[in-house]
Structure 1
């Protein structure tokens, strides 16, 4: 390979790496803007509660939902969820309204022991009057590996991320059956587990995403600067050779 070919290859590699870093920086900025937009919305009061089908009609807005819901079989345990510094899982179960809308109900958080033995979950049964916050599910992050794996307990799945189409398929509901948001169950209701109504649970605040974006862009610039310096040194070395 000639020196010219080596230089071209080096620049192509540097530009590709810089482009990847810039792409990661743009993704972090998008996450920042999404979370800023969510936090800019004022959570609705309980006096302004709507039915589940009304909330689904404007899916991007926060709603306080109050409806009679029929719990459906199947439990999803979302892994890697922190609460007060402890690792655990979040428990979700689908429920259907009289309108036919189906939503994943956030029943709360349970700790995991050191051996990561999953607790036995008692599914909710029947039709119940529920209320809670219609809000986005926990962020999925970068998708690596399958979203769901079957647990030992029947009709229970351990999820690494909230892939709603995949969850709906596993629950036998059809890929597009689940509502695009989840119902964060009112902590005062006497069912489920430990929970709150934090809009950004177990995730980074917008300021951290901005910081990471700046780091990725700086790394992209550093790659190009290093490539330029190396190119300049090689050229000087060639010019100095007899």
Structure 2
């Protein structure tokens, strides 16, 4: 009786672990498919570069847009821990007011951080109405919510660990009225202001092939555990 109880307990543990491993593998495959679909959509948009009206673009992000906008005299928002070419820096966002009155955070490029992590001052942007073009997309993935999303900087701006809608709204205050907090504009690199930038839709995140590799690992763990359990079950004493 005791042997049967121990056997039942062991298999209950094995089945629980199998379910955990398989769930993790399926999740990784789902993330891979989701990211691949976004990359494929972005590639098609960038190939055509046909401007979409703002309401249509917001409903079908990522989308190529060309917008009349004015950069506001508002402190910059910097997204921390952004790597480029082996260096760590910040992605810089500036607040712009669109012709229809909406406000939008615009990604104006990447700046490296020095060894002491002093955040560089931001140069002035052009005054007056501008024709901005670029990829309208959701903010970068927030990742794990560890620590506060925003920290104040000496220039009255913010250093962000993640760009949640709440963080985008807080960083835009007191000009948050009309903020399009579910989107940012990835500015076209050919425009002659801002910093070094590109239109990579998934910077500083795992590419789809990495997720597929992790899924294979989890399925391998599940297979190995099952085979080991069956071997222990039926081996001769």
TM-score higher than 0.5 here? yes
Matches within 5 A, 1:102-113: 102-113=103-114
Instruction: Work out the CA distance in 2 between the residues paired with 1:48 and 1:185.
Output: 15
Residue 180 of structure 2, aligned match among 164, 178, 181: 178
The alpha-carbon deviation at position 221 of structure 1 amounts to: 2.7
The alpha-carbon deviation at position 127 of structure 1 amounts to: 4.5
The alpha-carbon deviation at position 166 of structure 1 amounts to: 3.1
Contact 1:55 1:65 in 2 (8 A): no
Given the superposition, is the C-alpha separation of residues 47 and 86 from structure 1 closer, same or farther in structure 2, using an over 3 Å criterion?
A: closer
2:21 is paired with a residue whose SS is helix
Structure 2 stretches lacking a partner, 5+ long: none
Q: Which residue of 1 aligns with 2:39?
A: 39
Instruction: Work out the CA distance in 2 between the residues paired with 1:127 and 1:118.
Output: 26
Contact 2:57 2:136 in 1 (8 A): yes
Per-residue deviation, residues 36-73 of structure 1 (Å, max 9, x unmatched):
222323125787324544522x2334223332244363
Instruction: Work out the CA distance in 2 between the residues paired with 1:177 and 1:11.
Output: 54
The alpha-carbon deviation at position 150 of structure 1 amounts to: 1.0
Q: Which residue of 1 aligns with 2:134?
A: 132
Instruction: Work out the CA distance in 2 between the residues paired with 1:27 and 1:176.
Output: 35
Structure 1 stretches lacking a partner, 5+ long: 238-242
Contact 2:108 2:197 in 1 (8 A): yes
Q: Which residue of 1 aligns with 2:165?
A: 164
Instruction: Work out the CA distance in 2 between the residues paired with 1:179 and 1:105.
Output: 11
Query: Does 2:31 match 1:28?
Result: no
Instruction: Work out the CA distance in 2 between the residues paired with 1:66 and 1:227.
Output: 61
Structure 1 consecutive aligned stretches of length 4 or more whose deviation exceeds 6 Å:
173-176
Q: Which residue of 2 aligns with 1:209?
A: 211
2:193 is paired with a residue whose SS is coil
The alpha-carbon deviation at position 90 of structure 1 amounts to: 0.6
Per-residue deviation, residues 5-40 of structure 1 (Å, max 9, x unmatched):
544444343333333332322222222212222232
Number of aligned positions between the proteins? 232
Contact 2:64 2:135 in 1 (8 A): yes
